[in-house]
Amino acid sequence: MIIDSELIEAGSVIIVGVSGGPDSLCLLHALRSISDAYDYVLVPVHVNHKLRKEADAEAEHIANICDKMDLECRLYDADCEAVARELGISTEEAGRNIRYQIFDDVADELIEEGVDMERIVIALAHNADDQCETVLFRLLRGTGTHGLSGIPAYRLSASGHPVVRPLLFVERKDIEEYIKECKLKPNIDKSNDENTYTRNKIRNELIPYLEKNYNPNIKENLRRYANIANMDDSLLRDLAFADYMDNLEIDTENKRAILKLDEIRDNPPPINSRIVSLVFELLDLESLATYGNVMDVLDLIYSEKPSSGVDLPMGIRAFREYDKIIFSGGEEILLPDESIGIYPHVVMSKDYHPDEDAAYAAFDFDEFSKDHPGRIGDIELRTRREGDYLPIKGGSKKIQDYLVDSKVAKNARESILMVCIGSEVLWILPSEHFSDERIRDKGKYSQKYHISEATERVLYIEITDSI
């Protein structure tokens, strides 16, 4: 079955995840039996989760088995309970995350040791019964088509290494028969017989009940359903992938993913739902790709509101900023640059020769003095306040409305600096958060106090390096 799966090429360096249980021991033994014929190099990896009192003895047992096979097992310890507490997830999910990270780390170590990356593959021992249990488990949790496609026989890890499951079409009873025939002595996790976890209840109670009372072929039907769902989902994901690649930016410095909406908003929901799921996968947050979470993000995509957000599990937040959605660990409120200052002073019109490449503001000082006599010293640089307004042609505009109309992101509005006299805004300083290039470079000026040929004195405001 391993050979028929065509998941592992001859000459591969195979990282084998080995718990020491029947499934993984079967996989390791089978690979070892054909390793010479197919020029395989086997690298067994065992992760001790420290969750049961037998864990240390089981790690030693699998190390001895590998030694008898003339293989060196790489042993790792992991504090799953501590990780689960820190991330607010189950110990089962924490263990899974740790294992996959360790597999990637081992692959990277092999590359550093001189192994060609193209030869490396990670092999895991999920079987056909695991597939049935996974489909039922996800169905009960309310997953979508992608979740119902079950466990993939092939996928890429977070670091881009192939993860394969050669036993995915082998039933558990056949694995147990192989173990018996080869006289292997696997570790037996007695907790698998306890119905504490949902997956154990599905294995020990639900599936037998369905076989007895509804359909003796339920497991085969579930596997077929997973295959059909996988075919449908693969097509939709392929259609979504191009949009996903063209419209997603990764801000590694701030650990954020930015999904641009201009080109995808007209997509039908089945395509965009897969784009959202792909974003979750990219952030290594596949567990977030539930129906409810995906639909919440879809609501952001199709919403007419330019600024809104949704809190997701694990401290993740998705929030809309006009034509993009940002996925991050929270909506960071940007603060103003406190190193910037201003220098307002009056010059005679004949001496007014500003540097056109610099950012500055200039007004007719005599016109300004009519409204604010003797108040040049009250001009200040600050962020917005309630009641601030910007004079425009034919009237004025509230600063809040101006920033919204200018598509300044909600979390960036407190970083915008303004030159004010009371509640009147004279000059909004340049900022990268404006969509208009001219305002990004020069800022936005009050429409009052224009300089004309009749201007005798100029109120000149320039930016200084420090306050």
Per-residue DSSP letters for 253-303? Answer: TTTEEEEE-TTTTTS-HHHHHHHHHHHHHHTT-GGG-SHHHHHHHHHHHH-
- Summarize the confidence of residues 366-375 as an average pLDDT: 93
Q: How confident is the model at residue 369 (pLDDT cuts 50, 70, 90)?
A: very high
Q: Residue ranges per domain, the chain?
A: 2-223, 247-328, 341-464
**What tens digit of pLDDT does each residue of 397-417 get?**
999 889 988 888 777 788 899
Residue 435 has pLDDT above 90, yes or no: no
Residue in the structure block whose two tokens are 């990277």? 108
Residue type, 261: L
Eight-class DSSP state of 211: H
Return the pLDDT at 30.
Answer: 94
Return the pLDDT at 91.
Answer: 80
- Summarize the confidence of residues 117-121 as an average pLDDT: 94
Q: How far apart are CA 450 and CA 459, in angstroms?
A: 10
Q: Is the dihedral of CA 5, 11, 15, 17 positive or negative?
A: positive
65-79, 239-253, 270-284, range with greatest mean pLDDT: 65-79
Mean model confidence pLDDT for the chain:
86
User: What tokens does 416 get?
Assistant: 């915008």
Residue 2 has pLDDT above 80, yes or no: no
Residue type, 155: R
Return the pLDDT at 441.
Answer: 86
Residues in the chain: 467
257 or 209, greater pLDDT: 209
**C-alpha triplet 160, 162, 163: angle, nearest 5°:** 120
- Please name which of 71, 76, 75 lies closest in space to residue 31, comparing C-alpha atoms: 71
Residue 175 has pLDDT above 60, yes or no: yes
Return the pLDDT at 467.
Answer: 40
Lowest mean pLDDT among 25-29, 245-249, 258-262, 446-450: 245-249
pTM here is 0.61
- Please name which of 113, 19, 150 lies closest in space to residue 73, comparing C-alpha atoms: 19
Domain 247-328, CATH 3.40.50.360 — does that match?
Answer: no
Return the pLDDT at 450.
Answer: 92
Phi, psi of 260 (to 5 degrees): -80, 140
According to CATH, the topology of domain 2-223 is: Rossmann fold (3.40.50)
Residue 146 has pLDDT above 80, yes or no: no
- Summarize the confidence of residues 155-163 as an average pLDDT: 86
Residue 369, judged by CB atoms within 10 A of its CB (0-12, 13-18, 19+), counts as middle
Return the pLDDT at 466.
Answer: 47
Q: How far apart are CA 203 and CA 191, in angstroms?
A: 12
Q: For residue 260, what are the β-bridge partners?
A: 324
Q: How confident is the model at residue 258 (pLDDT cuts 50, 70, 90)?
A: confident
Return the pLDDT at 286.
Answer: 66
Beta pairing class for 424-428 and 418-421: antiparallel
Task: Name 137's Cβ contacts closer than 8 Å, sequence gap at least 6.
Answer: 198, 199, 202
- Summarize the confidence of residues 361-381 as an average pLDDT: 93
Return the pLDDT at 219.
Answer: 92
Residue 237 has pLDDT above 60, yes or no: yes
Q: How far apart are CA 53 and CA 90, in angstroms?
A: 19
**What tens digit of pLDDT does each residue of 4-33 get?**
778 999 999 999 999 988 999 999 999 999
Eight-class DSSP state of 386: T
Contact 90/180 with Cβ under 8 angstroms?
no
Residue 227 has pLDDT above 80, yes or no: yes
Q: For residue 42, what are the β-bridge partners?
A: 14
Residue 332 has pLDDT above 60, yes or no: no
Residue 46 has pLDDT above 50, yes or no: yes
Return the pLDDT at 164.
Answer: 94
- Please name which of 286, 16, 259 lies closest in space to residue 158, comparing C-alpha atoms: 286
Residue 127 has pLDDT above 50, yes or no: yes
Q: How confident is the model at residue 198 (pLDDT cuts 50, 70, 90)?
A: confident
Residue 320 has pLDDT above 80, yes or no: yes
